[in-house]
Structure 1
Amino acid sequence: MATNATTATTTTTATTETASISGSTTAEEATAKALHKRYEGLQTVRTKAIKGKGAWYWAHLEPILIHNSETGLPKAVKLRCSLCDAVFSASNPSRTASEHLKRGTCPNFSSSPVPKPISSVSPIQHNHRKRPPAAVSGGGSSSAAVGQPSFSVSPVRFCSEIGYSGAIVVSQQQQSQSQNLILSGGKEDLGALAMLEDSVKKLKSPKTSPGPVLSKAQIDSAFDFLTDWVFESCGSVSLSSLEHPKFRAFLNQVGLPSISRRDFVGSRLDVKFEEVKAESEAKIRDALFFQVCSDGWKVKSFGGNEENLVNLSVNLPNGTSVFRRAVFTSGSVPSKYAEDVMWETITAICGSVVQQCVGIVSDKFKSKALRNLETQHHWMVNLSCQFQGFSSLIKDFSRELPIFVSVVENCLKLANFVNSKSQIRNCFHKYQLQEYGHAELLRVPRHRELNFMPLCAMLEDVVSSARALQLLLLDETYKIVSMEDPIAREVADMIRDARFWNDLQAVDSLVKLVREMAHDIETERPLVGQCLPLWDELRAKVKDWCGKFHVSESPIDRLIDRRFKKNYHPAWAAAYILDPLYLIRDTSGKYLPPFKCLTLEQEKDVDKLITRLVSREEAHIALMELMKWRTEGLDPVYAQAVQLKQRDPITGKMRIANPQSSRLVWETYLSEFKSLGKVAVRLIFLHATSCGFKCNWSVLRWFSSFRAGLDRAQKMIFIAAHAKLERRDFSNEEEKDAELFASTDGEDDVLNEVLVDASSV
């Protein structure tokens, strides 16, 4: 019994000890595992820091694991200073760096000298019996080195040749004493050697790292400006270029961290879009009524496809415009689709109160859609773009004006001959280089593309190459070709003919005349009341052109009248009559509306339009008020205040001092005209052009390539368009670049010289 009891006691004790040892072992393993995890974490942090993504002190502090000598398990994690081998606790590396490194406790941190250039240290000497030793400079002393190739390299000379000035610094004394350094990799080793020395300096002297130190607020502000620039450039700046090595190097040089393109199309894009959208909607809510501007229905050919971006914006009575949406189309779209897009835009803005939209101005072929919407909603005035109307005139001239057709045929014959005959083409290029410093083919439109833009480009080329074409006829090569080729003789007779150059100059002058007026319309964006004066101005200029070049007036007048009637809207006449800007002072001193400048039909249009825009009950009241306006006009002082002009400091042109005065007079001083005033304030502010945000080819490429990211692209277009409209910038970056490189100065002088030469032959 005693024996059994003893055995049981012994067994119990052994079991307890085993359990205790097992529990102790488990605890030690858990501690070791935690320490190892802590060590790996510190190593990861140090690795990132050495790559420039963390604190500077990790270059000098190295995590180490202290192991238990009995069990071999980790028992602690420490930090070792690589400069003096001192060991510290790893609980707070930042405090350790401050106390040990910054406070000067480390004997080698503050007093360590600038690393000695490796090129000044003697390489390891090897014993090679068959080759003589070579002397190597070493900080003012020299030692022998053997076994290297026989070529010589001057580190100072080659560093200057490769443009490296970072690390190798040789004093005058060293230069005088140094001898040629021999490296196994040849000349290419010097660049790598300089980079190595530069890395050593950075590691030993982190305080001297180059580049400005910016605060977080400065960095955030800089990236806000960068974000605005990228978004407002809209396609002109590729998002991928933000990760270009050179751009990242630039950011580093000015003290900014690198930025990811994903950051731009993510949170930054969303925040900026919401900010701009809220600002736009607030502006629209403030206005009592507005006009929708629809631009971009004209189909453009891009990369073999007919693709387009239709921009819809909102014109407000105070003269500002805000962007609303962009619609991507491919190929020609039906008029009904355009009508639906415009009406959806209106209802999305004002809901059921659609009377807030008092009209639409649109470009190109959407006249049917505009007429339908105007017929269905009597309060609307829907206009065709005047810029498109003037631009289309050039197309009319190129197809139907006799002098234009004749010049185009002659220039086609001349350009095709010069381009296709290799001998003639080479001679022509020779004289182009001689006269203009460049050589190129004359642009010839494809047969199916005989529209006005390619034709005008060809005419411009012939005009600008006039002197080279004259010299071409004097070349022996051309004379030899002319002996056998009748077309060469015909082209030569054409070039010698003064009438050809006179007609070409006339056509070129007419194109420039209309283009300049169209350009002014595009940049100044006239209101609807200016339409009649613009067409009168065009007729007067064309009349002078006919007299200057002895061209019959009737064919061109017929084309202008036809285009005028195609674009005309009764609102032109009504706004012209109601806008105080165009009041005329009569003999009695009164300022009266210019009814005498209207035709009988246009006077009837004014009555019809005014009665359509008011309710049936107000129609007769509005007509009575119109008669009163016709006979009494406006107080002379107010009329003069509205018509006051001042010189534009940029263009030098005289402009209306306050364009909003016309509308404000009706809303305040002329308040007794209850019914007519409602019509007047709505008509006067209407824009006559749809020119607004210009879409460039980069944006179309975006839409074509990234249909999946359409939502993001829409947001970027919205931001860019909003910024352009806010600063009234209606230009295109690509056109600006073209203007920068284009130089047409002196073309008219050259053509005049050719005319003189031709007439003397």
Structure 2
Amino acid sequence: MFQTQSTIDRCFSKLFQFISPRQYEGEKTGDNATPSSSIAGEDLTAKAVHKRYEGLVTVRTKAIRGKGAWYWAHLEPILVHNSDTGLAKAVKLRCSLCDAVFSASNPSRTASEHLKRGTCPNFTSLPKPISSISPSPISYNHRKRPSPATAAASTSVVTSGFSPLALIEPSRFCSPELNYAPVVVAAAAAAAPSPHLVLSGGKEDLGALAMLEDSVKKLKSPKASPGPDLSKTQIESALNLLSDWVYESCGAVSFSSIESPKFRAFLAQVGLPLISRRELIGARLDAKFDEAKTEADARIRDAMFFQVASDGWSSGNLSEKVVNLTVNLPNGTSVFHKAVFATGDVPSKYAEEVLWESVSGICGGGVASRCVGIVADKFKAKALRNLENQNHWMVNLSCQLQGFLSLMKDLFKELGLFKTVTANCLKLANFFNSKPQARSCFHKYQFQEVDHAGLIRVPPHNLEVGVKSFELAYPMLEDVWDFARALHLAVLDESFKVVCGEDAVAGEVSEMIHDVRFWNDLEAVHSLVKLIKELALDMETDRPLVGQCLPLWEELRGKVKDWCAKFSIAEEPVEKIVEKRFRKNYHPAWSAAFILDPLYLMRDTSGKYLPPFKCLTPEQEKDVDKLITRLVSREEAHIALMELMKWRSEGLDPLYAQAVQVKQRDPLTGKMKIANPQSSRLVWETCLSEFKALGKVAVRLIFLHATACGFKCNWSFLRWVCAHRHSSAGMERAQKMIFIAAHAKLERRDFSSEEDKDAELFATSSGEDDVLTKVFADPSSV
């Protein structure tokens, strides 16, 4: 973070509080004191000497920046150590012009006697014309940096050679905008104080005058260029990393920012050549895309089969959306395929065509049966069902994350409790937002309780829309719940009681806020939504496989049952809504994968590890038989069913079953997770190889993903695409950029967007330890 000059001054002022004022002027601190024979005494003396030394260094540093006496440009504090103990015993001042050493007791007197009176042979205050200075050869390639003594000597010579600069007030050169040799000007001004010099060009001449003096300084004391000398390989590598960052940001970093003067200055400072926008969207973009595409295609070719994930159909009510098509491979990795730009609500037939074209394009004219299924984030029932009916080997699923989110919408639409709470909160919010006196009272207690004030978020339309729309209504419920204490205090305020006497609605709102049942109902709704959201967030992070769908819904049922008991709510209406959504999302592959995945084998009384058929309903058992029969050829159907019976009765060797089910703690979340998720598939391909037909189905089923979570596009990139959607060249570049960005993110398994990360960063708060809060409240505290 950049700090202003005033902020730096405040930091220095705090630092100087630890140094006594007499130390600035040189109070004697025992430079010549005799060390005590006691070790403790020597340590105390050394600490005092160190403190004195650090104080002088601090004062000198401030002076060099133009905020102190002129002589510090030539006097340097040094520590003198005891030859026997090695501890510091005194502080001295060394003249950087002649290397003479003096006591540090009074720097001002030392400067007067040694510098001003002519004792130092290398210090002179006589003015010299600029023509009398003989330029020295300039070399910018040597790497040895000048010593502090050399630099200080050069500074003094240049300063003494231009006494007219002493007529200018030093502080006028210490502006943050003018970074031209403030120490030199300050030194000259202190050496020969004079009235202000009036320049013909006015204040603008100060910068030009400082540049002139700086040029003379460089001629007298040439030094290496500020940027490091980089090899061609290093430069090319750095520019490649820079371009990768721009592409992978996928619109968060604009191409125009590359040509920002500040960014160009940064490149020059680190020794890199300038790079143009045209270069980034030209050859570099093409080369990076070709590299990523070649790598992705090679991974897909190596896999025996794959699943297509289609994410982006459910982008809310946006008129423009990006549908990302990703390829899930059996080894657990994902590869980006392409992005499809769509407008508005997409017809089911169009979605079907897009999905099949993607499958055909990935197979490249080869065997289409390599694609064993599709998972889409919005259940295009007709499209997925048609593709599944036309290709018997395919398993097409709806995204379970969207299924859980849709369940929350069902609750808001169909459960009476949600409707009542939403209507009451809407009435309360509208009242406080629209009545000035009530709003003022509410804001007063908002500031008191949460350190900020604002309106309660309400649905943008009428009450009916607010009641039925989860996305529009829930933020309002969150606000009312978060501001509960501020609302209670507001209705107890005397000014609000005056409003109650004048407005009947105010009395109703006050009665509602004092009603315990209103808050119990709001807490119930808030906690259930929070519960489902947490399950959905875990699902988005863990990306469960199809075999985990039944356990996930069973976990949800258990938590909903506990919720009903906690808040004394009838279970039957809630269970009906949950079961209705379950049936709408259910696919027979859930049951089949659950039975075939060794991860869910259960140990019976005989010690065998058998598939959990007893966890299925009779209908789900039939689904297992039907699905397995459909996924194999007619000739193999009866063989597959016989092998299924054998699997049901014999299961898996206990040692292998235990090995598959080994868990370990995730260091990031602290939860227990399967140590090797690939074990379930590998067991079928190795030690269960006698199951010829059933094994073919198992390895294809149990790797399928149950969610379509993939690459997330930035809003800035989406806007950029919308602006260039009528340009073929612009759309081609957009496709390449999104491929590069998605390929990189999937490579490191990063499924979040920059907007999500920024929102999480700014939403994170840890009280007094929150650095961002400190910075925004008081920049000088950092």
**Same-fold status (TM-score > 0.5):** yes
Q: CA deviation at 1:439?
A: 1.2
> For residues 480 and 202 of structure 1, do their structure 2 counterparts lie closer, same or farther at Cα, with a shift above 3 Å needed?
same
Please tell me whether residue 697 in structure 1 is matched to residue 715 in structure 2. yes
Alignment of 1:535-546 (within 5 A): 535-546=553-564
| Contact 1:298/1:363 (8 A) holds in 2 | yes
Please tell me whether residue 479 in structure 1 is matched to residue 492 in structure 2. no
Amino acid at match of 1:738: A
Q: CA deviation at 1:299?
A: 3.8
Number of residues of Structure 1 aligned to a counterpart in Structure 2: 615
Please tell me whether residue 673 in structure 1 is matched to residue 686 in structure 2. no
| Contact 1:202/1:208 (8 A) holds in 2 | no
| Contact 1:115/1:204 (8 A) holds in 2 | no
Q: CA deviation at 1:422?
A: 1.6
1:310 to 313, 316, 323: 323
| Residue matched to 2:375 | 361
| Contact 2:445/2:490 (8 A) holds in 1 | yes
| Residue matched to 1:576 | 594
Alignment of 1:37-186 (within 5 A): 121=162, 137=166, 154=169, 156-162=170-176, 164-168=178-182, 169-170=184-185, 172=187, 175-184=190-199, 185-186=201-202
> For residues 744 and 166 of structure 1, do their structure 2 counterparts lie closer, same or farther at Cα, with a shift above 3 Å needed?
closer
Q: Give unmatched runs, 5+ long, in structure 2.
A: 1-132, 144-152, 768-782
Amino acid at match of 1:280: A
Please tell me whether residue 437 in structure 1 is matched to residue 451 in structure 2. yes
| Residue matched to 2:4 | none
> For residues 301 and 193 of structure 1, do their structure 2 counterparts lie closer, same or farther at Cα, with a shift above 3 Å needed?
farther
Please tell me whether residue 563 in structure 1 is matched to residue 576 in structure 2. no
Please tell me whether residue 242 in structure 1 is matched to residue 258 in structure 2. yes
Please tell me whether residue 333 in structure 1 is matched to residue 349 in structure 2. no
Cα deviation digits, residues 33-78 of structure 1 (max 9, x gap): xxxxxxxxxxxxxxxxxxxxxxxxxxxxxxxxxxxxxxxxxxxxxx
Percent identity reads 67
> For residues 614 and 423 of structure 1, do their structure 2 counterparts lie closer, same or farther at Cα, with a shift above 3 Å needed?
same
Q: CA deviation at 1:192?
A: 3.4
Amino acid at match of 2:591: A
1:213 to 226, 229, 232: 229
Which SS does the other structure have where 1:447 is aligned? Answer: coil
Amino acid at match of 1:634: L
Amino acid at match of 1:357: C
Q: CA deviation at 1:230?
A: 1.1
Alignment of 1:520-669 (within 5 A): 520-669=538-687
Amino acid at match of 2:755: E
| Residue matched to 1:715 | 736
Moved more, 662-671 or 728-737: 728-737
Q: CA deviation at 1:214?
A: 2.0
Q: Give unmatched runs, 5+ long, in structure 1.
A: 1-82, 86-95, 103-111, 124-135, 139-152, 747-761
| Residue matched to 1:500 | 518
Please tell me whether residue 740 in structure 1 is matched to residue 761 in structure 2. yes
Amino acid at match of 1:734: E
Which SS does the other structure have where 2:228 is aligned? Answer: coil
| Contact 1:183/1:189 (8 A) holds in 2 | no
Q: CA deviation at 1:648?
A: 1.1
Q: CA deviation at 1:97?
A: 10
Q: CA deviation at 1:161?
A: 3.9
Amino acid at match of 1:723: A
TM-score between the two structures when normalised by the length of structure 1 = 0.77
Alignment of 1:157-306 (within 5 A): 157-162=171-176, 164-168=178-182, 169-170=184-185, 172=187, 175-184=190-199, 185-202=201-218, 207-302=223-318, 306=319
Alignment of 1:356-505 (within 5 A): 356-447=370-461, 450=466, 451-505=469-523
Work out the CA distance in 2 between the residues paired with 1:386 and 1:666.
26
Which SS does the other structure have where 1:323 is aligned? Answer: strand
Q: CA deviation at 1:660?
A: 0.4
> For residues 743 and 118 of structure 1, do their structure 2 counterparts lie closer, same or farther at Cα, with a shift above 3 Å needed?
closer
> For residues 565 and 137 of structure 1, do their structure 2 counterparts lie closer, same or farther at Cα, with a shift above 3 Å needed?
closer
Q: CA deviation at 1:164?
A: 3.6
| Contact 1:119/1:181 (8 A) holds in 2 | no
Q: CA deviation at 1:175?
A: 0.9
> For residues 195 and 453 of structure 1, do their structure 2 counterparts lie closer, same or farther at Cα, with a shift above 3 Å needed?
farther
Which SS does the other structure have where 1:382 is aligned? Answer: strand
| Residue matched to 2:121 | none
| Contact 1:120/1:137 (8 A) holds in 2 | no
Q: CA deviation at 1:207?
A: 4.0
Which SS does the other structure have where 1:312 is aligned? Answer: strand
TM-score between the two structures when normalised by the length of structure 2 = 0.75
> For residues 349 and 574 of structure 1, do their structure 2 counterparts lie closer, same or farther at Cα, with a shift above 3 Å needed?
same
Work out the CA distance in 2 between the residues paired with 1:173 and 1:424.
65
Cα deviation digits, residues 510-538 of structure 1 (max 9, x gap): 00000000011111000000000000000
Amino acid at match of 1:295: D
| Contact 1:117/1:167 (8 A) holds in 2 | no
> For residues 117 and 701 of structure 1, do their structure 2 counterparts lie closer, same or farther at Cα, with a shift above 3 Å needed?
farther
Q: CA deviation at 1:176?
A: 3.7
Work out the CA distance in 1 between the residues paired with 2:421 and 2:752.
32
Which SS does the other structure have where 2:281 is aligned? Answer: helix
Amino acid at match of 2:763: A
Larger radius of gyration: 1
